[in-house]
Amino acid sequence: MNFSSVSVGSTQDNLGDVVLPSFDLWAYVGSSWVHQATISNPASSSNDASPYDSGPHAFYTFTGLSVTADQLRITATPGVPGSWMFVDEVTFNATPVPEPTTWAMLLAGLGLVAGARRRSRR
């Protein structure tokens, strides 16, 4: 798959025990994990929300990606060690990469259509 973006939902609460994490995106390339991007969220109380708030929470998006891999991994690191963090609603936006046999079948089909058209003109 060719990944163009990845979004991750996260939230913080006003009690100070849940903090926004920083995120790292990794792709499995060849036989190892390769770091692709980072989103840093410094420890801050500015994103605190009421524990009774049912509104939408923040999404953090890795954009402008052009990563072709079978597997992606997201790691989250809390801005304040020992604190809780919430991560949910991970969305991977990808376009499938056609297999070589798909391309071969497409070319063969186009060749047959061209051949039939050429024959019908004669």
Looking at 2.60.120, 2.40.50, 2.40.160, 1.10.3470, the CATH number of the domain 2-121 comes to: 2.60.120
Q: What would the pLDDT profile of 5-49 be if each residue is shown by its tens digit?
A: 999 888 776 666 777 788 999 999 889 999 999 998 876 655 555
- What integer pLDDT is reported at residue 55 of this predicted model? 63
Q: What would the pLDDT profile of 41-72 be if each residue is shown by its tens digit?
A: 876 655 555 666 666 677 888 988 888 888 89
Residue pointed to by tokens 């079978």? 70
Q: pTM, whole model, 2 decimals?
A: 0.66
- Sequence spans of domains, the chain: 2-121
Q: Give the number of other CB atoms < 10 A from CB of residue 53.
A: 12
